[in-house]
A and B are shown apart, each in its own frame.
Chain A
Amino acid sequence: MTTYLNPGLPQPAPAPDGLDRPYWEGLQDERLLVQKCQSCETWQWGPEWVCHSCHSFDVGFQETAAQGTIYSYERVWHPVHPALREQGAYLVVLVELPHAGGIRLVGNLLGDPERPVEIGLAVEGVFEHHPDADQPFTLLQWREAD
């Protein structure tokens, strides 16, 4: 498949300390894994070593549905990276996952970059694989839900 943004941006890799490795590995298998405390069941994102609610270090990764609503968005016009010089406008969205404690993920909204966007719009995840990268990875993108 083609990718939403032109190639050449920095490629994501799991943190060297391993903190978010299950997230990146899960995406390659088309599974969304985010943190959920095994002790008090609090959802948590971005990833952290400790649960911010009960201070348990048993913060596991839980699979959850890649469905959410747009919490905020932005249409970018000015390229700040050489890879985006010929890109034109693109849409970045902040997606809230109500069924997972309201955690938020950043992604792109697929489709016409000049489309109107409404906060609250229901979206579903699309796994964007990059198998030819130096270290293959997968991004979670979003499209308007059916």
Chain B
Amino acid sequence: MERSLRGQVAVVGVGETEYFKRGQSPDAEFKLALKAILNACANAGISAKKVDGFASFSNDRSDPSRLAAALGCDELRFSNMQWGGGGGGGSAAVANAAAAIATGIADCVVVFRALAQGQFGRFGQGPRRNSIAGDMAHTVPFGLMSPAQMFAMKVQRFMADHGVKQAALRAISLASYEHAQNNPRAVMYEKPLDEATYDASRWIVEPFHLYDCCQENDGAAAMILVSADRAKDFANEPAYVLGAVAGSHYRAGAGVHNTPDYATSTFKTLAPRLYEMAGVTPADVDVLQSYENFTGGVLMSIVEHGFCTPDGCNEYFVKERFVAPSGALPLNTSGGNLAECYMHGLGLNIEAVRQLWGASTNQVRDASVSMVISGPMVTPVSACIFGKEAVL
């Protein structure tokens, strides 16, 4: 028997809260999660009481049992957390939810992520305690402690190995900000970015300028998944899961920056599996959402998913290629983590589905294969491809 998720499960509803700058949510984190889930259910046209599973990632604090109790769910059948990897778990949560549905463990699973960085800690700050032990003891005392600092080291090596220039990173940032100007949900709506502003912006850590770094936000996002059999009963056109993968290469988790293959987005072993399951090639991808914790991760992700060669980045990474609707590979069409909202990347999955529905604020014409790359450079990472019925 062929083992594949292809075409077995579909997204039938998406929803999010209003998106806020970090610390500005008037709602508690758990309330944000509830609102996003209820919005997604309303979008799907299903009562939240019929949700029987929850999947999330990165140690989301909104516990499924509490959610199911709060929402009066008839029964809880799937309570799933993708271990590790921060935003690398976004598409993995989709994969886990889809796997549960495809194998009969649950019928209607919500994939969600909620963050209130005001209520809880910020991602972009170093630890405040006096003493530190374990893996971090080998990095923090040298001032290597924030995500930007952890990943700049990888990107610097990749850029040096392949002669990648700063303008390649800039193109990714400019495309995101351009898309956000058409998206009223975007925190950076009506805050355009041009080349000169990017170039003049301060360094966070070389090679990342301020605009190479994602935002820190409060909010929540959710998606409703059901089996392909049921999906056609919903108002939204089913966005089928064509493929979804998660994981990392040999010893990606070796401590203190010791993974043998270092200057990578962690997708080299995943991308071939993703395309094989989905039955598509890079040329079939109509629109791409690629998680930008930092632009350098997007660059390596796009290379490792076969869209361009490592030595071809300077020619490939130009803004025009990435801007919808005319670009050859429209990228991060909601504004993404840089300019819409950093909802730990789940907003990218929602945008990928909206593209298939013709409901994006930067709509790509006739999008039928829509791909998401989640959380580059961590371990595990994940990716998924959604498709319309016509490509099944």
Q: Which of A20, A92, A134 contacts B153 (CB 8 A)?
A: A92
In the complex with contacts A73-B153, A77-B206, A10-B142 CB distance below 8 A: no
Most buried by B among A71, A84, A106, A134: A106
- Name the interface residues of B233-254: CB closer than 8 Å to any CB of A: 251, 254
Interface size on A, residues (CB 8 A): 42
- The complex places the Cα of A75 from the Cα of B148 at a distance, in Å, of 11
B135 at the interface (CB under 8 A from A): yes
| Shortest Cβ distance from residue B124 to the other chain A in the assembled complex, whole angstroms | 6
| Shortest Cβ distance from residue A118 to the other chain B in the assembled complex, whole angstroms | 9
In the complex, are the beta carbons of B256 and A12 less than 8 A apart? no
In the complex, are the beta carbons of A15 and B134 less than 8 A apart? yes
| Shortest Cβ distance from residue A141 to the other chain B in the assembled complex, whole angstroms | 8
- The complex places the Cα of A45 from the Cα of B157 at a distance, in Å, of 20
In the complex with contacts A10-B140, A12-B132, A92-B144, A77-B203 CB distance below 8 A: yes
- Cβ of B137: which chain A residues have Cβ within 8 Å of it? 12-15, 20, 24
- Name the interface residues of A85-139: CB closer than 8 Å to any CB of B: 87, 90, 92, 94, 103-108, 119, 134-135, 139
- Cβ of B128: which chain A residues have Cβ within 8 Å of it? 10, 81-82
Interface set of A (CB-CB < 8 Å, partner B):
5, 9-16, 20, 24, 45-48, 52, 71-78, 80-82, 84, 87, 90, 92, 94, 103-108, 119, 134-135, 139
Q: Which of A9, A11, A80 contacts B124 (CB 8 A)?
A: A80
B84 at the interface (CB under 8 A from A): no
B283 at the interface (CB under 8 A from A): no
Q: Which 8 A-B pairs have the closest CB atoms?
A: A46-B255, A12-B137, A81-B126, A10-B132, A72-B157, A46-B256, A77-B203, A80-B146
- Cβ of A45: which chain B residues have Cβ within 8 Å of it? 254-256, 258
B197 at the interface (CB under 8 A from A): no
In the complex, are the beta carbons of A77 and B205 less than 8 A apart? yes
In the complex with contacts A20-B137, A77-B206, A80-B124, A92-B255 CB distance below 8 A: no
In the complex, are the beta carbons of B258 and A104 less than 8 A apart? yes
In the complex, are the beta carbons of A15 and B255 less than 8 A apart? no
- The complex places the Cα of A90 from the Cα of B203 at a distance, in Å, of 12
B152 at the interface (CB under 8 A from A): yes
In the complex, are the beta carbons of B205 and A74 less than 8 A apart? yes
- Cβ of A105: which chain B residues have Cβ within 8 Å of it? 138, 256
In the complex, are the beta carbons of A78 and B133 less than 8 A apart? no
- Cβ of A11: which chain B residues have Cβ within 8 Å of it? 130-132, 141
Interface 1/0 per residue, B255-273 and A, CB below 8 Å: 1111000110000000000
B279 at the interface (CB under 8 A from A): no
A3 nearest in chain B by CB position:
B141
